[in-house]
Amino acid sequence: MSKLAATAAKAPSTSRLPDRIARAPLTGRPIVMTVHPHNPDTPLDARHLSRVLARYRSPDPARSALELTVTLVPFLATWAVAWWMLSHSIALAVVLALGNAAFLVRLFMIQHDCGHGSFFRSRQLCNWIGRAIGIVTLTPYDVWRETHAIHHATTGNLDRRGVGDLPTLTVAEYRAKGRVGRGLYRFVRHPLFLFGVVPFYSFFLQNRLPVGLMRAGWTYWLSVMATNAAIAAVLTTLLWFDGWEVVAFVFFPTMLLAASAGMWFFYVQHQFEHTFWNREENWNVQDAALGGSSHYDLPQPLRWITGNIGVHHVHHLASRIPFYRLPEVLRDHDALVQSNRVTLHESLSCARLALWDETERRLVTFAEAGRLPA
């Protein structure tokens, strides 16, 4: 069984994960208070917050329909104009296709909310909208929904890495590797690889199979094969009507930029200096949700494009909150505004972080790790 499937077996069942996080019982473990270094007088009790935030979970069907409309219609319109522009200027067509990546990122965020059952009150409606969007985002919805739920159930757990996260070694693990192993890890953590190669591999190649869930039942195979068939039908139609140019100069630029941008946003959501990692015996899901997820404080229009996913610490605490209600949470709870806050400028330095220092409890660069005592 693959590492993903093995981790899934160890993780709690994820079909009702958000509800169980909100109801998680208090254990004998000490409560971890998350404190932002710039706001040390504002401790946050993750378990209490997960209950308080439950009142924001109700979606507004009219608002959800509006958000879908104002994202899908401009996406299709821009696609059509870029296609038409091919006969006049390939360069302008590519520029339009690259700009359209913004709407594709937002469509993925809507698909993301559907996966959590937070976009509409009907789970079935969420699932079918998510599956339809998955054709556009090249993502088999049912496979992604399951692996993403496992990510929520295991994030920040050093003993359950490998599902829906980026490869992250501790300083001790990195030092224990040989020269080849350290070189390979440096290669994998290089920004050009993480935000160039990995997005292409994930969306264009890995998503064509239920990787990690191949023995988990026919549902995931059906999800992948049905998505692949729909994508093939779309591409065949495009090739039939306008040849390879529309695929090369409209389809690929939009997909590649959206995939790379999405990978960056996901990276900053969990790979910031004062994130949260713990061993199994000291880990619990609420503390990991609040401490291991950033508030990526983006300016407009990036907040709109990303569907407020930068409010990621709140999302992990209460994943059933629709993305358009996340600003309400920040408005009503000032302490969450500063908790794990990362600005756009500050996020650029996150790309250099690579190793978890279990002693200082922070992510460090390779250079910083080299200066740490053995």
How would DSSP label each residue in 54-81? Answer: GGG----HHHHHHHHHHHHHHHHHHHHH
Q: Please state, in angstroms and rounded to a whole number, the distance separating the CA atoms of residues 227 and 221.
A: 10
> In this predicted structure, what is the pLDDT of residue 41?
42
Q: Which domain holds residue 155?
A: 3-370
Distances (CA, A) of 134 to 49, 101, 207, 237: 32, 15, 10, 18
- Evaluate whether 8 touches 150 at the Cβ level (below 8 Å): yes
When divided into structural domains, the chain yields a total of 1
Q: Please state, in angstroms and rounded to a whole number, the distance separating the CA atoms of residues 297 and 303.
A: 8
> In this predicted structure, what is the pLDDT of residue 23?
37
> In this predicted structure, what is the pLDDT of residue 163?
80
> In this predicted structure, what is the pLDDT of residue 98?
98
- Evaluate whether 209 touches 369 at the Cβ level (below 8 Å): no
Residues 6+ apart with CB under 8 A from 233: none
Distance of CA 232 to the CA centre of its chain: 25
User: What count of Cα atoms within 13 Å lies in the side-chain half-sphere of residue 209?
Assistant: 8
> In this predicted structure, what is the pLDDT of residue 21?
40
> In this predicted structure, what is the pLDDT of residue 26?
33
Of 222, 199, 220, which is closest to residue 210 (Cα–Cα)?
220
> In this predicted structure, what is the pLDDT of residue 164?
81
Q: Which two tokens stand for residue 132?
A: 């339809």
Distances (CA, A) of 298 to 208, 286, 350: 32, 24, 15
- Evaluate whether 334 touches 41 at the Cβ level (below 8 Å): no
Of 346, 337, 311, which is closest to residue 325 (Cα–Cα)?
311
User: What count of Cα atoms within 13 Å lies in the side-chain half-sphere of residue 373?
Assistant: 2
User: What count of Cα atoms within 13 Å lies in the side-chain half-sphere of residue 240?
Assistant: 6
Q: Is 194 helix (H, G, I), strand (E, B) or coil?
A: helix
Q: Please state, in angstroms and rounded to a whole number, the distance separating the CA atoms of residues 149 and 320.
A: 12
Each residue's pLDDT tens digit in the chain (374 positions)?
Answer: 344 444 444 444 444 444 434 333 333 333 333 444 334 444 578 889 989 999 999 999 999 999 999 999 999 999 999 999 999 999 999 999 999 999 999 999 999 999 999 999 999 999 999 999 999 999 999 999 999 999 999 999 999 998 888 999 999 999 999 999 999 999 999 999 999 999 999 999 999 999 989 889 999 999 999 999 999 999 999 999 889 999 999 999 999 999 999 999 999 999 999 999 999 999 999 999 999 999 999 999 999 999 999 999 999 999 999 999 999 999 999 999 999 999 999 999 999 999 999 999 999 999 999 999 98
Per 3-state DSSP, the chain is made up of helix, strand and coil in percentages (nearest 5) of: 65, 5, 30
